Structure 1
Amino acid sequence: MTQDENRAAAEPRVEFDDSGRSTGIELTEDANNGGRTEPFDPNRIEVQPRNTTISLLLQRLQRGALDLAPDFQRRAGIWSETNQSRLIESILLRIALPTIYAAENEDESWAVIDGVQRLTAITRFVDPTAIEAEPLRLSHLEYLAEYDGCTFEDLPGRLQTRVLETELVILLIRRGTPEAAKFNIFARINTSGLPLSRQELRHALIPGQARDLLAELAASDQFLAATARSVSPDRMAEREMCLRFLAFKLTPPEQYTTQNFDDFLRAAMHRINKLSEHELDQLRESFGYAMAASVIAFGADAFRKQFRNRPRRFPVNKALFEVQAVTLSNLSPDEIVALSPQRDVVSARFKELMDDPEFYDSISSGTGSAATVAYRFQSLKDLFQKVLDA
């Protein structure tokens, strides 16, 4: 079997969610994704334990000084009505809750990283209007069954006081700690079974309009059509794909020089947070154009590996998403129209490109290095130019 046939026959690895279901995204390795090229200065890292009460945390939430990132919800189903009720029951029984991890922002607000679902359940029970949620009505309690069906207001006053005065332990990473250090610290936390994905961490630690834009693009009809609705939103993989596109629109591939792809994506989110509405509209338009062009050029195989001797359909590949979408977004409408009847030619040339070990590696491992980024973008650019010049 040839080297190409070995690559084509290899079963692609995929990313999984907490329940073990495929996210529909091929697992790739970004060079130094989350790794460090320089050591941290330990004198700039400050982690401080804080003891606070549920009442004080709710006051923070009401003032906008506590960020629960309400759409940052890990796997639906883990926190059912029963799970949430049992958490409240633990509080009523004076059972200590696990430590909550948070980061302090420059404005002294706290971004909760680990403990979002716990605090969301507590808020939904005590003050649901603070997160615009339906009130939690206790159900399937194990030891306090007499309170099944109760809301917070239905509890006796002494139990309401017990809930509000319950102390929680917060491990707070203080502002002034380098952002890269915060990401490194939180990436090590594993209190809920599966560590947070890199995009879940970016979402939690970098508030602002970038969050909203990524959520909007990932839910857009254009994205869903181009990816054949095959990408699960459970671990925010679809938002990372959109972010990769935006990052290379803001910083053209030829200007990409870093060896740490995670730093690059974080910087892109910060930059998006500072854009005007007009600039955001330009990115939206470019994204929609790229998604439509990808369907024209690749059809149902957009963003997926293709091999000449392997007809199977592969999962979406993040590196292919960024390189195909960004490259096509830079072609003119006339050039996209010219590609429309050439889909078979594009597919044939792309399968030939997949025979190139250097290109294959550039979308499979070490995908965040400057050399691999440059190689895959130049390769796709050359491919389309050859088709258009034929």
Structure 2
Amino acid sequence: MTLESELEIYRQRITTDSYPMSISEIANLYRDGEMDIHPEFQRIFRWSSAQRTKLVESILLGIPLPSIFVAQNEDGIWDVVDGVQRLSTIFQFMGILRDDNGDFIPSFVCAAGPFLKSLEGVSYEPSESSTASLTRAQQLDFKRARVDVKIIKRESDNRAKYDLFQRLNSYGSIATPQELRNCLLVSLSRTHFDWLQDLASSDDFLQVLNLPERLTHEQYHLELALRFISLRRLPEERISSIGNIGEFLSAEILPFVDKRHAELRQEKEAFDACFSALRSALDTDAMRKWNPRMERTEGAFSSTAFEVLALGLGHYVSERTFSVDEVRQARETLWKDDNFAPGHATGQRADQRMKRTIPYGRQLFSA
């Protein structure tokens, strides 16, 4: 296949448009609910006060801003693919930014800018927390500033949106890999994101994981829920060729958003049954290492325990019910095995470890 033929194929998969819009026009789209900047992700991409001040300063000075990328969803709403923090900063400065509960977020008050030192303490409109505000003329200049908006139209396929999102957000982000996957998932299918979020909020699941608060804050429980869905029935020949687990999970977003309601229902039934059984048998110790000699659990969350016990049980849970004794015996067998003694996976890449742990877990629960 020639370069020209490849270009022709790819160009047919993504339909775009581009035109400059004033900040006032973009703000109106946001107010009217025609643009979604996903307030649940504002924390992920949050800028410092200095970064936000620099953006406001650039707008006031007339410095061109980078393009905003949006994807038009099935309802015609613009989902922001790249530019969440720029738009969040602009809307917060103007006093129109809302959180995920629909409540207004307090307006942003500038610090001193790199060039405009007098910006310190300045807000868009007068407020109790500011010492000064923009004049009417300065407000109009701010609202009339133009931003180039690039639109990925809804007739574009999900693969094209996926590729674009990966390219735009793979460099310089402060988000965790799962936080970026969450953003990608929302841009492709809010329905599937909400489903995954509800799944990962299950009380049984969270109790079994017993994760430190930091990992939950970083959305690691959503990553583990996605791992469960993607890996529990994955053929063993594919397990041996997973490669980088983060890249594998990101690629699995596409087949995940293709799942129909009936498939999601089956996945949820398996998920709930698996973690209900683990909680009944092992509760908050399920994902910790078991010391057979001391007859007690040790340490924090263990990836080995998740891959052997959760994915092993999950592989068969749709076919049969496991008793408390069977689950407890499986854990004892795991940690008595010399191949899984403490330190066996130290420094080992996840894909190399999973070549052993996932098949072992399936064998353990196959009897």
Asked if TM exceeds 0.5, the reply is yes
CA distance 1:305–1:210, change in 2 (3 Å): farther
Report how far residue 223 of structure 1 moved.
3.0
Correspondent of 1:155 among 120, 134, 137: 134
More moved, 170-179 vs 296-305: 296-305
Equivalent residue, structure 2, for 1:179: 158
Relative contact order (alpha carbons < 8 A, sep ≥ 6): 1 or 2 greater? 1
3-state SS in 2 of match to 1:108: coil
Give the Å deviation of 1:125: 2.3
Range 177-186 or range 289-298, more displaced: 289-298
| TM-superposed deviation, 1:155 | 3.0
1:306 touches 1:314 (CA, 8 Å); kept in 2?
no
Q: Cα distance, 1:167 vs. partner?
A: 0.9
- TM-superposition CA deviations, 1:76-105 (whole Å, max 9, x none): 7x5244543443233223232222222233
TM-score by length of 2: 0.69
**2:315 is matched with which residue?**
327
Contact 2:49 2:110 in 1 (8 A): yes
- Pairwise CA distance, 1:228: 2.1
Are the counterparts in 2 of residues 296 and 339 from structure 1 also a CA contact under 8 Å?
A: no
Structure 1 residue 138 displacement after superposition: 0.7
Q: What amino acid does structure 2 have at the position aligned with 1:121? A: T
Structure 1 residues 273-292: aligned runs within 5 Å: 275=261, 286-292=270-276
Amino acid across the alignment from 1:327: H
- Total equivalences in the alignment: 329
Question: Among residues 87, 110, 114, which one is paired with 2:82 in the alignment?
Answer: 114
Pair 1:238 & 2:207 matched? no
Hey, what does 2:351 align to over in structure 1? 364
- Give the conservation status (yes or no) of the 8 Å contact 2:308–2:358: no
Q: Within 5 Å, which residues of 2 pair with 1:13-92?
A: 41-44=9-12, 45-73=14-42, 75=44, 78-92=46-60
CA shift in 2, pair 1:261/1:221, >3 Å: closer
Whether contact under 8 Å (1:244, 1:322) holds in the other structure is: no
For residues 87 and 187 of structure 1, what CA distance do their matches in structure 2 show?
A: 24
- Distance apart, 1:326 and its partner CA: 2.0
Residues in 1 aligned to 2:35 and 2:109: alpha-carbon distance in whole angstroms: 25
Deviation at 1:181, TM superposition (A): 2.4
2:248 aligned with 1:265: no
1:316 equivalent to 2:303? Answer: yes
Query: What is the match of residue 34 of structure 1?
Result: none
For structure 2, the 5+ residue unaligned runs are: 1-5, 127-132, 242-247, 293-297
Matches within 5 A, 1:131-170: 131=99, 132=102, 133-142=104-113, 143=116, 145=118, 148=121, 150-152=123-125, 154-170=133-149
Task: Report what 1:93 is aligned to.
Answer: 61
* Root mean square deviation, CA, Å: 4.4
Could you list the runs of 5+ residues in structure 1 that have no partner in the other structure? 1-38
- 1:69 Cα deviation after fit: 1.8
C-alpha displacement of 1:170: 2.4
Q: TM-score, normalised by structure 1?
A: 0.66
Asked if 1:104 is matched to 2:72, the reply is yes
